[in-house]
Amino acid sequence: MFLGMRPPSELLDTISQLAELDQTIRKGAVRQLVSKQEELADEEINTYVIERLISGCSSARAAVRLGYTTAMGSILASDVGKSWDLEKILAVANKKMDLEEKTVGSGHAIGHYLILVVYAQSRKLKETEATRLVEHSKKVRDAAPSLAFSQTHLLCNLAAKLKDSVFQKSVLPAVEMYLEGINSQYTPENIYLALRLRNSIPAIVAKYAKFVKKDGSCQFSNDHYSKLLAALKRCDCSTLQTFLPLLIKTAVESSQFEQIYLNVLEPWALSSNETKVFDRILNIVTQYFEFGGDSKSVVVVFTKEVLNRMETATRGKKQFRLMSKKVKLRNSLLYTNRKPGFEKAIRKFRDKLASESECSVVFVLSIYAIELDSRLVLKLSL
């Protein structure tokens, strides 16, 4: 709490700009605030600013969380932030954002989580701090189960950041506790944890996740597919953005993309309405190429069922125009990431389509018709 005179109006204006939706203004405010090292060296002003930034982490207004967390991380990493250790920050957080308060939904829990992330990113963590971070993250997860995946992501980031000796004592016990759950049920959290850490602690992950070998490689079997599919279907929109790319990357690296696609990815993609099916399939193809997938093998994605569903999604001029915009964006990436043999693979794909229903052939070829002109530019017949 600010006990002296009112902070300079210029400082208050800068803090207000941290909430702007315009990222140019917001980033400029962060730079301007951090540059005020002389003002922030004043104990009362320093306390006022940090406490205001901490309390703002629970606000859903405009871009408050984005601006405030960025500013707080920058200040904590500077000379004027050195006096703020984790215990001091959590004391303020507990006072201003009570995790037991139910009337604010998950707002306070989100604020606590963001503070943990900011502190972990801005400091070289000691063993005691890492242990405290993990302990507090468990409390946040208990207070807001919807943040379970976020907490898992934090644990994975800590594993990548910490020295092995610190990780073993501070983070590994929590990691093993969550990995044990794989024996009873596959969840987005424990699957993500296993896939993220399989290369750094392969022997430990393999102890719990049967699809991971002791060398860190993956080998999925028929017993795993239905469980992976169930976990994928449990992902919400935000979780999916992180979970799905890792699953596709793992499938490509383990040379099991075809099996994972047919048994997990396609059933998931087809479990939604036609518009989402279209978007999901294109997203899978895009990420397949991003992770180095062989262009000759991408044809596995376009099964007869997928082609029929995609065709249904574009019936009517309005739907076709909507879908064509998405396709053009996806194809620009596909062409950019093409490899030797890409054009030959597309011709092979066309031949495959000839055996499918005529309407599906017309529809998909209108999307994926790839002709290279003298400038080697991808042309679409949409």
pLDDT tens figures, 89-146: 999 999 999 999 988 889 999 999 999 999 999 999 999 999 999 999 999 999 999 9
- Regarding whether 47 and 5 lie in a shared domain, the answer is yes
Q: Contact at 8 Å (CB) between 228 and 264? A: yes
pLDDT reading at 373 higher than 70: no
- Regarding whether 154 and 119 lie in a shared domain, the answer is no
In a domain, 132, yes or no: no
pLDDT reading at 65 higher than 60: yes
Give the alpha-carbon dihedral of 89, 91, 97, 101, to 10 degrees.
Answer: 150
- Regarding whether 358 and 262 lie in a shared domain, the answer is yes
- Regarding whether 207 and 275 lie in a shared domain, the answer is no
Identify the pLDDT of residue 304.
82
Q: By CB neighbour count within 10 A (0-12 exposed, 13-18 middle, 19+ buried), where does 57 fall?
A: buried
Q: Contact at 8 Å (CB) between 141 and 173? A: no
Rounded CA gap, 32 and 30, in Å?
5
**pLDDT grade for 316, boundaries at 50, 70 and 90:** low
In a domain, 103, yes or no: no
Identify the pLDDT of residue 352.
52
The Cβ of residue 320 has, within 10 Å, a number of other Cβ atoms equal to 14
Identify the pLDDT of residue 181.
95
**pLDDT grade for 175, boundaries at 50, 70 and 90:** very high
Highest-confidence range of 199-208, 287-296, 308-317, 354-363, by mean pLDDT? Answer: 199-208
- Regarding whether 260 and 370 lie in a shared domain, the answer is yes
In a domain, 238, yes or no: no
Identify the pLDDT of residue 333.
46
- Regarding whether 346 and 284 lie in a shared domain, the answer is yes
Q: Lowest-pLDDT range, 21-35, 111-125, 287-301?
A: 287-301
Residue span of the structural domain in which 174 resides? 148-231
Identify the pLDDT of residue 324.
53
In a domain, 198, yes or no: yes
In a domain, 248, yes or no: no
- Site of tokens 């044990």: 180
- Regarding whether 261 and 359 lie in a shared domain, the answer is yes
Identify the pLDDT of residue 374.
26
Over residues 263-268, the mean pLDDT reads: 97
Identify the pLDDT of residue 382.
31
Q: Fill in the amino acid letter for 204.
A: I
- Regarding whether 375 and 261 lie in a shared domain, the answer is yes
- Regarding whether 285 and 163 lie in a shared domain, the answer is no
Last residue of a domain, one of 231, 263, 295: 231
In a domain, 193, yes or no: yes
In a domain, 366, yes or no: yes
- Regarding whether 274 and 225 lie in a shared domain, the answer is no
Token digits of residue 320: 């076709």
CA angle 316, 319, 320 (to 5 degrees): 80
Query: How many domains, the chain?
Result: 3
Identify the pLDDT of residue 273.
79
Name the residue with higher pLDDT: 300 or 218.
218
| CA-based radius of gyration for the chain | 25
Q: Lowest-pLDDT range, 37-41, 79-83, 296-300, 344-348?
A: 344-348
Over residues 20-48, the mean pLDDT reads: 95
In a domain, 371, yes or no: yes
Name the residue with higher pLDDT: 338 or 296.
296
pLDDT reading at 340 higher than 70: no
Kindly report the average pLDDT of the chain as a whole number.
85
Q: Contact at 8 Å (CB) between 302 and 257? A: no
